[in-house]
Structure 1
């Protein structure tokens, strides 16, 4: 007899009466599994919080420098939203067909087996998620250290404190963590609205605008521009890790993903149109901080202070969401591999994977320390994570094809439209970004790849 639990797990009751998790073939223990406690709005808030980060105030200038015209600048942001929506449709099929707290890890396990899934979980723990936590924390640390300098390692110190504090909040409980995310995101939206209002309603100061440098004869490199745009859109795939925790059931992940992508695209367009309206494509192309330049031109130095606080708050929002979702992969790793069994403990009182959160915090702190030694924390973490991230993103796209062939009889509440064209577009985008992340990054990329390769040593210990 089969029945569907509220968490989205398919249970199979054997002759001895013991229930097992059909997705992982492991004993189903009601006291050690996630419960459906998240509403749709909570899931949307988490995804938007992960994607819309402080990078929005850095990448527009890089995109402007590689597009050459306002029309092309707007077009590549629209294309970024389109490609992200295509990817979200692919994820919607995987998330609704195979709902599991393991997210990408679970999809890769079903498609390619435990060893490849383990390699992905290893990458999440050691490179992808922890590196993302570290680089986002560095953004907060960089801005706070400007206001309250504590020496040459101030940025790393503040970044470490941010990771510890937000990890503690998520250990307290999933509701408290999601509530913190909603508070941070509401502050973030208020700040973004301030930027949009300043960009469209305030008259720029002529003296401030004349003081800003202006580019002449911009070169056009649309492929590179798309790299920056899609990196800015990255993060919506975190929805896969909370598909089993939705109160309304995993089928609603389709709505969560589509609504999230539409909200994110609208935010990006409004912000970038505000930048264009005040600064123009030429000044954007040579700006190191378009948000600062916009606020200085429209509101003076008080606006500069406000934008600094906003960027820090946006980074905090993304750090909190990344910590929330990242620990779920660590939990899945411990659940399925005995060697890491201590990670697979779920605290039912707080509905959180406490051990997974603690380990994630420690690894992120180690990476923050590495960034402090290199004296270029943020850039080092970007180089470190990018190639590994896009390699596994490509693998997820391929997994959709594999699972269509491997498990054709699995119920699919949602099927990606225009198959196979849609997932082919998604895979091609991921393959290009994998190439770009190796071609345009520094030594940090090779370090990330080396740590990924180190994970293969554990293959000899996996039964």
Structure 2
């Protein structure tokens, strides 16, 4: 890389680009699985729909918190920048370590595996087909984003549009068609609304990734709020519509009894052809999520490279493509290693990622608290977006994260110690690097 490597990110992303990224990350594989889990934990059809609406409201509350932080401190480092400003670089680095080793790269690998599983159903490649598809998808979309930011966001707009149209088409078929004969009645839901919300918010997960493009948005102080609010609003509307379609097609009892809600709904509507349609839709949704996650994830490692002299090789921004080239390579290499590990011990890999959920919610809680800390300091520049109904809104966000932290620990049990172990492995890096002078003060 030449002098181009010393360039900084250009503000080249529009609100439409940001919304496409957000919707592309959120509307992924979860919506095809979690409705059954939600139905099993609510008592009525009204409660089922209300729970999805409530999930959208909670997501919007979180989006408002991130909108203020992102407009006040726009940075390609996203949450790393917020946590470092509020609690010191040590906390920021600990978050960055968890994200690099499991949270982000693990998510990339898992989404790639989902694509591989469904692509294998459409075009089988033998025993190792899913792994080949997964690794190829990561390499291909890393290459697209390595080529340049315009290419990455262009691909994202395409896949997001196709995914949304496909999901809406499934919803339209379900709403227009008559109710199918439901399977034999399942057990009555236990009414565990809290657990239902855990699954719903998992399905809404990913909206916070918008923080990582705040350093590249045009007119960021107004644009970041629009991206988050419009994106979360669009996802909420889409999820409510598609779940109404599932409810009409299968009924609440049918949802509870189904192991593959979307597949059963499509089979009821279109017969055998419905399975192929669903496979292609899931492939498209997985690729949309994969590209957006690769695009946003690499921005964090670039931000760390700006802060720490020992990691300065990742402080390379390619001016020609307006992209963090070396950071993309680091992220891709780590994700491909996890794909290899996942191919050898699939169950262990998925368990490792699932058990880090407490770590994720812990840091999201700290991001919420950071708003109170940074507001008190009053260090932000004027003109930023300010979250409405302060302090109630961020307090509600923190309480939600606290509850989900508790729920994820209870769900994982002793397995949650795996996440603690992963964090502990990063402590030496934090202790050594946190004392090093920042290469880019104020980032």
TM-score (norm 2): 0.93
CA separation in 1, counterparts of 2:359 and 2:126? 33
Report the alpha carbon displacement of residue 213 of structure 1 after superposing the two structures with TM: 4.2
Partner of 2:441: none
* 1:302 equivalent among 251, 266, 273: 273
Matched, 1:449 2:420: yes
CA separation in 2, counterparts of 1:378 and 1:269? 32
CA separation in 2, counterparts of 1:454 and 1:191? 42
* 1:439 equivalent among 410, 418, 433: 410
Contact 2:90–2:431 (8 Å) recurs in 1: no
**Residue segments in structure 1 that go unaligned for 5+ positions in a row:** 1-28
* 2:164 equivalent among 165, 170, 189: 189
* 2:51 equivalent among 76, 83, 95: 76
Count matched residues.
431
1:89-112 Cα distance to aligned partner (Å, 9 max, x none): 111110111111111111111101
1:259-301 Cα distance to aligned partner (Å, 9 max, x none): 1111010000000000000100111012111111111111111
Matched, 1:425 2:400: no
CA separation in 2, counterparts of 1:146 and 1:381? 26
Report the alpha carbon displacement of residue 247 of structure 1 after superposing the two structures with TM: 2.1
1:343-391 Cα distance to aligned partner (Å, 9 max, x none): 1111011001011001101111111222222233784364144222111
* 1:234 equivalent among 186, 200, 205: 205
Matched, 1:130 2:130: no
Structure 1 pair 409–201 and aligned structure 2 pair: CA distance change class (3 A): closer
CA separation in 2, counterparts of 1:222 and 1:379? 25
**Residue segments in structure 2 that go unaligned for 5+ positions in a row:** 437-443
SS of 2:412's partner is coil
Structure 1 pair 332–444 and aligned structure 2 pair: CA distance change class (3 A): farther
Q: How do residues 248-327 of structure 1 correspond to structure 2 at under 5 angstroms?
A: 248-327=219-298
Structure 1 pair 342–443 and aligned structure 2 pair: CA distance change class (3 A): farther
**Most deviating of 213-222 and 357-366:** 213-222
RMSD: 1.8
TM-score (norm 1): 0.89
* 2:23 equivalent among 48, 55, 80: 48
* 1:141 equivalent among 112, 116, 129: 116
1:2-34 Cα distance to aligned partner (Å, 9 max, x none): xxxxxxxxxxxxxxxxxxxxxxxxxxx994210
Partner of 1:372: 343
CA separation in 2, counterparts of 1:375 and 1:410? 47
CA separation in 2, counterparts of 1:170 and 1:389? 26
Q: How do residues 380-391 of structure 1 correspond to structure 2 at under 5 angstroms?
A: 380=351, 382-391=353-362
CA separation in 1, counterparts of 2:125 and 2:143? 24
SS of 1:33's partner is coil
Report the alpha carbon displacement of residue 204 of structure 1 after superposing the two structures with TM: 5.0
